[in-house]
Amino acid sequence: MSILEHHIDPDADAVIVLRNPCLEFAPWQDGTSEATTSDAAGAPADSVPDSIIEAGPKETEISVLYYVSSRHLTTASPWFRRALTKEKWTESGKDEKDGLVHIHADDWDSEAFLILMNIIHLKNRKVPREVSLEDLAKFAVIVDYYECAEAVEHFTDKWKESLRTATPIPSTHCRALILWICIAWVFEWEEQFSDSTLVAVKQCSEPLRTLGLPIPERVTEQIDLKRYEAMEHVIESLHGLREKYLDLDYACTQDPDYSFNCGSTLYGAISKEMLAIQILSPRPQIPFTGMSFEGVCAGVRNFRSSSNNNGYRLGYYNDYRHTQAHSCSLTTAVTEVIDNVVSTVGGFQLQPLKER
């Protein structure tokens, strides 16, 4: 067994034994981690020092010991307070050999855990002034488990400011977006939570994956539900518009006498365009796998118009008195549909979800 020790408190009365620090964090797909940003991509999959890794083969068990003050732990964390005050707590107990209370932990990132211990024990000069998105996500997972977000708030608020510039919330559905949702949730960053969940609603092409991070089911359910509603609203509205053009009673808004030609042309145009972006037949169903709300909206906005200015041309009236081409436009109609739906799509407020 390989062992590394960190003496956080010189008068320690407890030791946290971290067994097998994580070697892979929040894999994106098929057990591999997608690169999030340039700084996150450059970070190793684990933060175990090379000296530990080189001490033996991969299957060698690794333990990292943190010698700490139980008083500091119980002040900062309700989890540790329960662990150190409740009799026969399964994750702690005084060891007869060294007289210290032993608290066991598994799978955390060792460097992120060290940062947390230094903050709790007021070792401020040992705390980094900036962290990457990847490292902050690792830190957030631990903070969430030990229920100590308030104890680290001074540092996380400072990290937030630098992170917003270095690694802004992505505009696409990717691993970095999930890390941002997790971080914003744990540290209760309202603006970042709203912005990141909005991107998820617009850009996800599948039910939201949490990657094993502490993103509650009530959050993923709301994101998925909002996406489903927005997608269904667009598709339902376009099918309704198509049926309107097909209706024998359709009346052209420009000239009722031209209703048949107008409706026929618009019906053919919207049918072809809906077929092209695969929302006509078979009609997409929840969970709309492989389709994003933003992608569908972009496809609809590219529908060719049925006016004489762009694409489909309705032609001229037979009546010699009319010298202008017919002006009913498919583009105008479908753009109104998209704009109406987009206006209803927003990010989520954090506190109402926290209170559920």
pLDDT tens, position by position, 238-267: 999 999 999 999 999 888 888 998 999 999
Question: What is the pLDDT confidence band of residue 87, given thresholds at 50, 70 and 90?
Answer: low
Does any domain span residue 249? yes
Q: Is 4 helix (H, G, I), strand (E, B) or coil?
A: strand
Question: What is the pLDDT confidence band of residue 20, given thresholds at 50, 70 and 90?
Answer: confident
Q: What domain count does the chain have? A: 2
> End of a domain among 130, 161, 182?
130
Does any domain span residue 163? no
Q: What is the pLDDT of residue 46?
A: 39
Q: Where are the alpha helices (DSSP H) in 147-189?
A: 153-166, 175-187
Q: What is the pLDDT of residue 316?
A: 44
Cα Rg of the chain, angstroms: 29
Nearest to 223 by CA among 196, 200, 206: 200
- Per-residue pLDDT at 284 exceeds 60: yes
As a whole number, the mean pLDDT across the chain is 86
Give the C-alpha separation, 39 to 36, whole Å. Answer: 8
- The pLDDT tens digits for 131-162 are 999 999 999 999 999 999 999 999 999 999 99
Question: CA–CA distance from 95 to each of 2, 102, 105, 146, 303 (Å)?
Answer: 20, 6, 16, 22, 72
Q: What is the pLDDT of residue 306?
A: 55
Q: What is the pLDDT of residue 23?
A: 81
Q: Name the strands in the sheet holding 101-106, side by side, starting at the edge strand that comes first in the sequence.
A: 2-7, 62-68, 14-19, 101-106, 92-94
- Per-residue pLDDT at 111 exceeds 80: yes
DSSP track, 48-72: --HHHHTTS-TTS-EEEEEEE-HHH
Mean pLDDT of 67-87: 91
Does any domain span residue 285? yes
**What region does 211 belong to: left with phi over 0, alpha with psi -120 to 50, or beta?**
left
Q: Is 312 helix (H, G, I), strand (E, B) or coil?
A: coil
For residues 8 and 94, the model is more confident at 8
Q: What is the pLDDT of residue 257?
A: 87
Of the listed ranges 165-169, 306-310, 328-332, the one predicted with least confidence: 306-310
Does any domain span residue 38? yes
Number of neighbouring beta carbons within 10 Å of residue 35: 14
Does any domain span residue 72? yes
Q: What is the pLDDT of residue 34?
A: 55
Q: What is the pLDDT of residue 47?
A: 38
> End of a domain among 95, 130, 165?
130
Number of neighbouring beta carbons within 10 Å of residue 276: 13
- Per-residue pLDDT at 35 exceeds 60: no
Q: What is the pLDDT of residue 327?
A: 74
Does any domain span residue 183? no
Give the C-alpha separation, 288 to 130, whole Å. Answer: 39
In this prediction the pTM is 0.84
Of the listed ranges 34-48, 140-154, 178-192, the one predicted with least confidence: 34-48
Mean pLDDT of 160-177: 95
- Per-residue pLDDT at 57 exceeds 90: no
> End of a domain among 112, 130, 148?
130
Give the C-alpha separation, 176 to 35, whole Å. Answer: 8
For residues 20 and 78, the model is more confident at 78
126 and 243 housed in the same domain: no
Does any domain span residue 240? yes
Does any domain span residue 217? no
Give the C-alpha separation, 145 to 186, whole Å. Answer: 10
Q: What percent of the chain has pLDDT over 70?
A: 82
- Per-residue pLDDT at 44 exceeds 90: no
Mean pLDDT of 274-283: 96
Range of the domain at 284: 232-342
Question: What is the pLDDT confidence band of residue 91, given thresholds at 50, 70 and 90?
Answer: low
